[in-house]
DNA sequence: TAGAAGCAGATTTTT
DNA sequence: TCTGCTTCTA
């Protein structure tokens, strides 16, 4: 097996039994190490199918699969399982969900489906808030009928009651949300020792990527899987833990040796990505954190390109500067995809876009609505699901799309009537006589419901006999194209649908690929944001994790923007974000900081981020008391200069003064203005 | 049932 | 300031 690993990486690769924690700093060859280890185990004669590797994203699962398979030169006798946590949960539940008296023809719902369901149950609390509470419950191992440690939550009683209704609805319709894909496997293994033993002996070697991002439930799941052997190898970087707000618990990696006794720890320090200058800066930032394993990244790449900090007076000046720098790089022949613009909050990208447009710089923003979250795609998927499963949830989505007169009330009536008969709505439509159905929804709606069911039956036959033409037949049976054609934004919608169809036909032509497996696969499929050469990419720092660019520009380095300053914000996590952003850069790193910015609809005066000033100056959260201004006093402001105080008022215990700066009147908090 | 008008809320979003 | 959602109106 060819390899050019360093000593520490090699040590990690050759560790076989017992818990191993690999602390891999940014750019230290984490993926190389994990994939080499996988190949190493296989080359020792260990059955590949007994090796389980878990990741968080489809993208990294694919990358690891490709890399480890290429190391193995096709010498595999069986396949190692290398997939996301959620995919593992899905595969598990297909085999074992019957233990909970549920069937394995479940449908996976996404976040917006869940919000919609919650809204229908009770709209008196914000559904998104309830949704995140439910996630929190599920991810801390809370069961709908069990105990919990979260009773301090606001509106607790009410949320629990919504939660119980929600769970009942999921069970009745055999739906699973994303959290269930982890929670239910945990519950099953926890309850049934035989299953736990079976799984643990099947997967005798377990690896987990990005371990710093695991939540409590995932850790517990891993413990179950490893209960027979403790052969657990995790890779991660506590300094890159930036998902605490999604339940990720940094303690999982910091206290790893408490969870798994006799852990061997290997630290990868040698960075192969960034220049010394960039690493010095990044090391310097992260060194201020106390919740971390002390470590210091090293690099042999010196290029004498300093880390730049560029200040601007406002966001326009900043946009202009960024666009001209990029334009110059482009003229010098640099590929657009070698550069990236990163920000903490999407809201500040607008002003930059304005100037990129002015300079004709082609760019793309990563983030926003994902392909599979688009309404038109979800509609088509719902049709496919009705064809395959006839589940109520999908049926309700499309029974009136395109409009066929079966409105909300009619659906409600059918739902009640079908529940009485313990049937799916679809089966109720099919099996009821005309007069029975007329009693529920009236003759006119009965006609279109029956017609709908006939069309679905026809498509079911197509799915069996010539599945390749399913999308074509779906189009013509339901005039779906006409429906979207009439909508605004029809061009994009139709293009999305076409893309979906072509993905479907590609998929279906593969080996052993059926409609059910297609539906399961796409349920967990995120968008593959492939970086294309001809575009400059703009993205949040979160979205940049795992990527690298020659030239990285980070904008909005101002207290209150980055770092965000608020009561519930963990400044250490903000610092980790600064660390992640910095370590994306290979050759050149530039920070932009503006003295004012139009933010949340207001022109705001801002001070340079404490990540740049090392915390020497933090007026945004300063305890400075109000100045004792009088009308007529001369005041000095760091940006607006000298002016005369013309009005003083007190609002919410804050002194505000109106100052005349040479004809320009501005109202400012007096704590930000000096008396002269 | 589409469009207007009014309103709150604005951090990140691997599955 | 802008967006997305709810409520109102024709």
Q: pLDDT digits over A319-332, tens only? A: 999 999 999 999 98
* Model confidence pLDDT, tens digit, residues A220-267: 999 999 999 999 999 999 999 999 988 899 999 999 999 999 999 999
Q: Is the separation of the CB atoms in A525 and A178 below 8 Å?
A: no
CA of A48, C1' of B8: distance in angstroms: 55
Most confident region among A36-40, A448-452, A658-662 by mean pLDDT: A36-40
Place of tokens 């022109």: A603
Residue A133 pLDDT: 86
CA A266 to mean position of chain CA atoms: 28
CA distance A322 to A351: 11
A598 in contact with nucleic chain C (CB within 7 A): yes
The pLDDT of A6-20, averaged and rounded, is: 95
Q: Where are the alpha helices (DSSP H) in A287-442?
A: 315-331, 349-358, 375-389, 392-398, 408-420, 425-431, 434-441
Q: Is the separation of the CB atoms in A212 and A242 below 8 Å?
A: no
Q: Is the separation of the CB atoms in A297 and A330 below 8 Å?
A: no
Q: Is the separation of the CB atoms in A127 and A115 below 8 Å?
A: yes
Q: Phi, psi at residue A92, to the nearest 5°?
A: -60, -50
CA of A446, C1' of B14: distance in angstroms: 45
Minimum mean pLDDT among A27-31, A399-403, A504-508, A661-665: which range?
A: A661-665
A431 in contact with nucleic chain C (CB within 7 A): no
Residue A30 a catalytic site member:
yes
CA distances from A267 to A9, A68, A548, A583 (A): 9, 22, 21, 17
Q: Is the separation of the CB atoms in A454 and A491 below 8 Å?
A: no
Minimum mean pLDDT among A78-87, A426-435, A600-609: which range?
A: A600-609
CA distance A295 to A235: 15
Q: Is the separation of the CB atoms in A26 and A580 below 8 Å?
A: yes
Q: Where are the alpha helices (DSSP H) in A272-367?
A: 276-286, 315-331, 349-358
User: CB pairs under 8 A, 24+ apart, for A482-485?
Assistant: A482/A402, A483/A401, A483/A402, A483/A403, A484/A376
What's the pTM value of the predicted model, to 2 decimals? 0.86
pLDDT of A619 strictly over 50 = no
Place of tokens 């601007």: A312
Q: In what order do the strands lie in the sheet with A641-651?
A: A664-669, A654-661, A641-651, A634-637, A674-675
CA distance A462 to A418: 27
CA distances from A50 to A30, A62, A188, A226 (A): 22, 19, 20, 12
CA of A268, C1' of C6: distance in angstroms: 53
Q: Is the separation of the CB atoms in A82 and A48 below 8 Å?
A: no
User: Pairing relation of β-strands A654-661 and A664-669?
Assistant: antiparallel
CA distance A35 to A38: 5
CA distances from A386 to A72, A380, A392, A404, A662 (A): 42, 10, 8, 17, 69
Beta partners for residue A234, in sequence order: A21, A208
Residue A651 pLDDT: 60
Place of tokens 């990419």: A537
Percent above pLDDT 90 for chain A: 51
**Cβ-7 Å neighbors of strand B:** A 56-59, 84, 86-87, 111, 178, 210, 213, 242-243, 245-246, 248, 344-347, 367, 370, 403, 407, 524, 526, 539-540, 542-543, 564, 566, 568-569, 600-601
Residue A584 a catalytic site member:
yes
Give kind and range of the element (H or E) at residue A66: helix A58-71
Q: Is the separation of the CB atoms in A414 and A429 below 8 Å?
A: yes
DSSP state of A77: S
C-alpha dihedral, A263 to A269 to A272 to A273, nearest 10°: 100
* Model confidence pLDDT, tens digit, residues A514-538: 888 888 888 887 666 677 778 999 9
Most confident region among A272-286, A389-403, A630-644 by mean pLDDT: A272-286
In A 92-131, which Cβ lie closer than 7 Å to strand C? 119, 123
Residue A210 a catalytic site member:
yes
């Amino acid at each position: 097996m060819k390899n050019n690993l360093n000593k520490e990486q090699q040590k990690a690769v050759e560790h076989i039994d017992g818990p191993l924690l690999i602390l891999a700093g940014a750019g230290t060859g984490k993926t190389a190490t994990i994939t080499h280890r996988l190949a190493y185990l296989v080359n020792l004669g260990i059955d590949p199918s007994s090796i389980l590797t878990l990741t968080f994203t489809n993208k990294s699962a694919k990358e690891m699969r490709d890399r480890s398979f290429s190391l193995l030169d096709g010498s595999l006798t069986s396949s190692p399982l290398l997939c996301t946590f959620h995919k593992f949960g899905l595969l598990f539940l297909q085999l074992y969900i019957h233990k909970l008296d549920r069937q394995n023809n479940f449908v996976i719902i996404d976040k917006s489906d869940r919000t919609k369901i919650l809204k229908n149950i009770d709209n008196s609390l914000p559904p998104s808030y309830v949704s995140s509470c439910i996630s929190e419950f599920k991810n801390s191992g809370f069961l709908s009928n069990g105990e919990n440690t979260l009773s301090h939550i606001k509106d607790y009683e009410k949320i629990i009651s919504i939660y119980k209704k929600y769970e009942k609805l999921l069970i009745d319709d055999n739906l699973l949300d994303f959290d269930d894909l982890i929670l239910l496997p945990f519950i099953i293994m926890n309850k049934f020792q035989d299953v736990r033993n079976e799984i643990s002996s099947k997967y005798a070697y377990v690896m987990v990527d990005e371990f710093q991002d695991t939540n409590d439930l995932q850790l517990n799941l891993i413990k179950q899987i490893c209960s027979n052997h403790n052969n657990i190898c995790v890779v991660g970087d506590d300094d890159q833990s930036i998902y605490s707000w999604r339940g990720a618990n940094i303690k999982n990696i910091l206290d790893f040796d408490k969870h798994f006794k006799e852990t061997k720890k290997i630290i990868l320090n040698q960075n192969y990505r960034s220049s010394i200058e960039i690493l010095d800066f990044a090391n310097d930032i992260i060194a201020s954190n106390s919740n971390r394993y002390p470590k210091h990244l090293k690099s042999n790449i010196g290029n004498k390109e300093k880390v730049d900090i560029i200040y601007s007076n406002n966001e326009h000046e900043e946009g202009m500067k960024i666009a001209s720098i990029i334009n110059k790089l482009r003229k010098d022949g640099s590929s657009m995809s070698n550069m990236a613009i990163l920000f903490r909050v999407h809201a500040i990208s607008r002003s930059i876009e304005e100037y990129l447009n002015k300079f004709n710089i082609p760019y793309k923003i990563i983030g926003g609505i994902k392909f599979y979250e688009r309404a038109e795609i979800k509609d088509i998927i719902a049709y496919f699901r009705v064809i395959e499963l006839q589940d109520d949830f999908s049926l309700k989505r499309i029974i009136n799309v395109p409009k066929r007169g079966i409105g909300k009330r009619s659906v409600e009536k059918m739902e009640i009537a079908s529940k009485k008969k313990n049937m799916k709505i679809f089966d109720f439509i099919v099996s009821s006589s005309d007069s029975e159905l007329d009693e529920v929804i009236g003759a006119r709606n009965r006609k279109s419901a029956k017609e709908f069911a006939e069309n679905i039956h026809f498509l079911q036959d197509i799915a069996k006999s010539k599945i390749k033409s399913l999308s074509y037949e779906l189009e013509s049976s339901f005039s779906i194209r006409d429906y979207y054609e009439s909508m605004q934004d029809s061009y994009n919608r139709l293009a999305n649908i076409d893309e979906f169809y072509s993905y479907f036909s590609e998929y279906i032509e593969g080996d052993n690929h059926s409609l059910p497996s297609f539906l399961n696969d796409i349920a967990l499929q995120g968008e593959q944001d492939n970086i294309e050469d001809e575009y400059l990419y703009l993205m949040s720092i979160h979205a940049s994790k795992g990527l690298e660019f020659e030239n990285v520009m980070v904008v909005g380095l101002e207290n209150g923007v980055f770092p965000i300053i608020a009561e519930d914000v963990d400044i250490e996590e903000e610092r980790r974000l600064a660390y992640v952003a910095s370590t994306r850069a290979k050759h050149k790193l530039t920070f932009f900081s503006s003295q004012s910015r139009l933010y949340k609809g207001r022109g705001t005066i801002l001070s340079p981020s404490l990540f740049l000033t090392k915390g020497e100056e933090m007026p945004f959260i300063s305890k400075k008391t109000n100045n004792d201004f009088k009308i007529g006093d001369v005041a000095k402001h760091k940006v607006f200069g000298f002016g005369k105080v013309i009005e003083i008022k007190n609002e919410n215990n804050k002194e505000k003064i109106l100052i005349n700066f040479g004809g320009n009147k501005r109202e400012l908090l007096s704590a930000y203005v000096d008396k002269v």
